[in-house]
Amino acid sequence: MVHYRRNFIKGGTYFFTVSLKNRQSTLLIDAVDLLRESFLYTQNKKPLTIIAIVILPEHLHCIWQLPEGDKDYPARWKSIKSHFTRQIKKAGMHVKQNKHHEHNIWQRRYWEHTIRDENDLSCHIDYIHYNPEKHGWVKSVKDWEYSSFHKYVKNETLPPNWGSDFEIKDTISYGERSLDAATRNQGISNKNLDSTSFHQGYLNE
């Protein structure tokens, strides 16, 4: 039996990988305006700072900074995903349901990693911005529209041609392979669960 270990740090900084149930879907960019609305809806209720984000067709990565004294990121994800599901339905888009009549958009589990230091933060920001090129959606990082990379360029934090010589550090797990495996297997390794873990989504309202 697997025991999920949650890592809650008040005012912490967290990296997340969140995926759709259907890994062949393009819903997140097809309905990107509704996804943005869902983030804003949640931020108005429960503030959070988005340090970096990228939205791919069927998954997203982001880094959040929570307010001092606050560690409740599960409630924020519940709000974002539930609101997105409701807006999809209102827009008349088809939403599948499972045998329990739960809406079948999101994977139940998501990946969370607690950022440990500045180097860890930098590695995860770089991974987020390089992700569209990594998956072959574009040939250059600057060509992917749905990324905080453009804000970093505008603020002169990164040059427009960043990413041309970027290499992903294989020593860091970013949750994508593990989330894919979680759709096939019931168990996960207990290795390195001190700062990284799966979380149930509570997102099927």
Catalytic residues: 146
CA 68 to chain centre: 21
- Edge-first strand order for the sheet with 59-65 is 49-55, 59-65, 13-19, 109-114, 196-200
Taking the CA atoms of the chain, what radius of gyration do you get in angstroms? 17
Query: At 159, is the secondary structure helix, strand, or coil?
Result: coil
Report the distance separating Cα 16 and Cα 61, nearest Å: 6
| Count of CB atoms situated within 10 Å of the CB of 162 | 18
Report the distance separating Cα 76 and Cα 47, nearest Å: 9
Q: Which two tokens stand for residue 145?
A: 């529209």
Strand partners, 103: 97
